[in-house]
A and B are shown apart, each in its own frame.
Chain A
Amino acid sequence: MGETPHRSAHAGTGGHAVTQGHERSAGASARVAEAPVSTRTPHDDDHGLGGGGGLPRARAFGAERAFRGVTLAAGVTVLVVIAAIAVFLVAKAVPALRANSANFWTFEGWFPNDDPPTFGIGALAFGTLLTALLALLVAVPVALGIALYLSHYAPRRLGTALGFVIDLLAAVPSVVFGLWGRDYLVGPVADLSAWLNQYFGWIPIFGDGPYGNSILLGSLVLAIMVLPIITSLSREVFLQTPTANEEAAIALGATRWEMLRTAVLPYGRPGIIAAVMLGLGRALGETIALALTLGSTYAISFNILANGGNSIAANIANRFAEANETGRGALIASGLVLFAITLVVNITARAIIYRRREFTESAA
């Protein structure tokens, strides 16, 4: 609309007053054809080119505004989806929680289809945290070792090729790892369990059998699954260490390990933390691999060798088919708890990364 008026009148003067001043009545349709002419004149730039203000005011209600609105709507959708997840889960969970005649937090069992329904999240949440933490305990040191090998020990070609393979392994669906764990890892893990129990049975976590679908098996499968993810993320972080820092360390006479410890690891620390947290998020939410490998019991037990163990996500997958109305609500309530746990983990991780902005791009 009022775009062309100042075309000839006021080179170099502030355009706002003039624009508002006259020819407000000029219709948009009449001006559209002229717009290219006007925008080509240099003094039209006096609305400023910085960032979003690069356009003449005339387009305020045209395609520019429309496009901006569309992108804004897409952005808002993200917030709406997150809010909707919380709202709908709560809406479906509350009736089931009302019907629950046992303590949701402490009861060890899952009978939501009974009358009266009884179910509790305690054992499931415990199993979720225990398997995820054990998995990280195994996976993180190994993953960091491989990442360091790929970035600083391996010949360049080999490092790139192996890094590519690791990236591919990170993309392998979890159901494949679960199937492998259930069919093939179960034997070796049972042998290991028997051995651990025989010689280290005095440690409470290495209790008696029967061995098979134990927490140990589930955690090891999880560890193997998150290993490529953590490796691939932290390798990228290590590769970004400034060469100057590394060369400075070498020039001061540092051995290769001292160089890694003084230059590479401190630089990569936020990235490592982010990678570990993302791996933790993956491990907490993993469903199918654990549904196939855990023993699906409802007791809090620190014996990681015996058949048993369960997790929130695996329980949802296992019990969904048989669930009635209340059963679904109960599963949704447990999903809400899982959602809350992962949300806390994620927000913590993001807060750590955001504090050191320079690593954000590489780490996330």
Chain B
Amino acid sequence: MTTTLTPRRSRPPAQPDSLRAKRLPGYAAPALAVLALLVSAGLVYGVDLGGPVLVVVLGALLYLAGLFAAANAVEGRRSARNRFWSALIHSALVLAVLPLASVVWTLFSKGTARLDGDFFGSSMNNIGARDANGGAYHAIVGTLEQVGIATAITVPLGVLCAIYIVEYGRGRFAFTIRFFVDVMTGIPSIVTGLFVLAFWVLIVSPWFNDGQPGFSGFAAALALSVLMLPTVVRSTEEMLRLVPAPLREGAYALGVPKWKTILRVVLPTALPGIVTGIMLSIARAAGETAPVLLVAGGGAAINFNPFENNQSSLALFVYQQAGEASKYSPARAWTAALTLVVLVLVLTVAAKLLARRNRLGR
């Protein structure tokens, strides 16, 4: 966005040299960098302070200081500050890219080890510590069912709530709801898990489960829907506000009742944006471990019924395999993590592409 603002320093052809501000020559910065690295290497290995990592870090610090000093001497204080901060901002990028790239690289290099039919076709039932096979079929089933149920609960509730806030709500009450939706966004996932544990698993479900606490996939779906609700409400609300008022007014002018205007005119216009928000919230819910750990129980066998008995999920599978002592479990954990990330990223990318086609824009 700054392409038009970039201060171009190309001088008019006839400008005499004496009128131009003094500038560091173009080779100054790279030369300083090399010099800083050399000095730092000499210092580190000379006094034996550490290894190559320290050389780079110390070199970067020396480079920053040297650049500031050189620019300060030649170009003046303001320009020196400018160069200093620019270098700092660029180094922040490098600093962050390293670990994030490492995460992605590890994920793909480790995750492809068990990427076979057995992994997607079998469960962990009767798999002992010495068995190299075993897979995540039960976990994938669990994730899909739990997220599906959670979506079925959350979407109508969230969209209707957003409609209330935008179209009907007036005054303090609507503001209160809006405020608490925002606050709800920040509730930790483990707390929603504890809530469903206290409310559903320990208090409600014993009534129809012979007095035993009923861990189930449905309980996990409830916890996930508490997590998804604020995201769905917020994104839907934002999209509804973007629908141009003339569309509504046109419908009213034709005598269409307000509810029909909302359902037939406002919602279809905002639909792509709403779907984007829903998909992003699904992606987040699919990656949640903590609530599933607390209320779904996490079995090793395939269980298609989300309303009875323990169920697992992909995220929970990763966590459980990470804690297992078997030498084969890390490979399973990483492959499950890769599967989970691919699932989440496909959802996210699809949502972003959909958002790009959204006529309302942002």
Contacts and interface: CB of A to CB of B under 8 A. Distances in A.
Decide whether A and B are members of one complex. yes
Interface of A: 36, 39-40, 44, 49, 51-52, 54-55, 59, 63-64, 66-68, 70-79, 81-82, 84-85, 88-89, 91-92, 141-146, 148-149, 151-153, 156, 164, 167-169, 171-180, 182-185, 195, 199, 224, 227-228, 231, 239, 243, 246-247, 250, 255-260, 278, 281, 284-288, 291-292, 313, 316-317, 320, 328, 331-332, 335, 338-339, 342-343, 345-347, 349-350, 354, 361, 364
A2 B102 CA distance: 71
Contacts of B5: 243, 246-247, 250, 259
A78 B92 contact: no
B144 interface: no
Interface of B: 1-5, 7, 49-50, 54, 78-79, 81-82, 84-86, 88-93, 95-96, 99-100, 102-103, 106-107, 156-158, 160-161, 163-165, 167-170, 174, 176-177, 179-192, 194-195, 197-199, 202-203, 226, 229-230, 233-234, 238, 241, 249, 252-255, 257-260, 262-263, 280, 283-284, 286-290, 293-294, 315, 318-319, 322, 330, 333-334, 337, 340-341, 344-345, 348-349, 352
Nearest to A86: B195
A284 B188 contact: yes
A177 B197 contact: no
A342 B252 contact: no
21 contacts: A52-B258, A64-B257, A67-B259, A92-B198, A144-B92, A171-B287, A173-B340, A175-B322, A176-B107, A176-B287, A176-B341, A178-B322, A179-B318, A227-B100, A258-B78, A259-B5, A288-B290, A288-B293, A332-B197, A343-B183, A343-B187
A148 B91 CA distance: 12
Given A79-B176, A89-B198, A71 B102 contact: no
Nearest to B90: A149
B288 A173 contact: yes
Contacts of A172: 103, 287, 341, 344-345
Contacts of B257: 39, 55, 59, 63-64
Contact of A151 (B1, B91, B318): B1
Mostly, the A contact residues are helix
Given A71-B160, A287-B190, 9 more contacts: A79-B177, A145-B91, A173-B288, A199-B49, A224-B103, A227-B96, A313-B290, A317-B290, A361-B241
Given A156-B3, A250-B5, A184 B352 contact: no
A169 B100 contact: yes
Contact of A79 (B90, B180, B286): B180
**Highest count of chain A CB atoms <10 Å: which of B54, B102, B259, B322:** B259
Nearest to B334: A179
Contact of A49 (B3, B84, B102, B249): B249
B183 A292 contact: no
A12 B255 CA distance: 17
Contacts of A179: 318, 322, 333-334, 337
Contact of A68 (B3, B168, B194): B168
Given A68-B168, A169-B100, A287-B190, A82 B184 contact: yes
B273 to A, nearest CB: 13
Contact of B195 (A85, A243, A250): A85
A363 to B, nearest CB: 11
Contacts of A345: 186
A164 B185 CA distance: 22
A81 B249 CA distance: 35
A74 B348 CA distance: 27
B161 A71 contact: yes
A74 B153 CA distance: 11
A91 B153 CA distance: 25
Given A168-B348, A179-B337, A255-B82, A332 B194 contact: yes
A320 B295 CA distance: 10
B81 A285 contact: no
A167 B84 CA distance: 28
B92 A149 contact: yes
A67 B263 CA distance: 10
Contact of B345 (A64, A146, A171): A171
Contacts of B91: 145
Nearest to B293: A317
Contact of A243 (B1, B92, B170): B1
A256 B7 contact: yes
B259 A228 contact: no
A153 B85 CA distance: 11
A342 B185 CA distance: 10
Contact of B93 (A39, A145, A286, A342): A145
A153 B86 contact: yes
Contacts of B54: 195
Contacts of B348: 167-168, 171
B182 A350 contact: yes
Contacts of B287: 171-176
Nearest to A291: B319
Nearest to A192: B53
Nearest to B233: A78
Contact of B252 (A54, A68, A316, A328): A54
Given A71-B160, A168-B349, A172-B287, A78 B181 contact: yes
B310 to A, nearest CB: 12
Nearest to B99: A224
Given A146-B93, A146-B96, A288-B319, A68 B259 contact: yes
Given A172-B341, A180-B106, A224-B99, A332 B198 contact: yes
A338 B5 CA distance: 47
A285 B85 contact: no
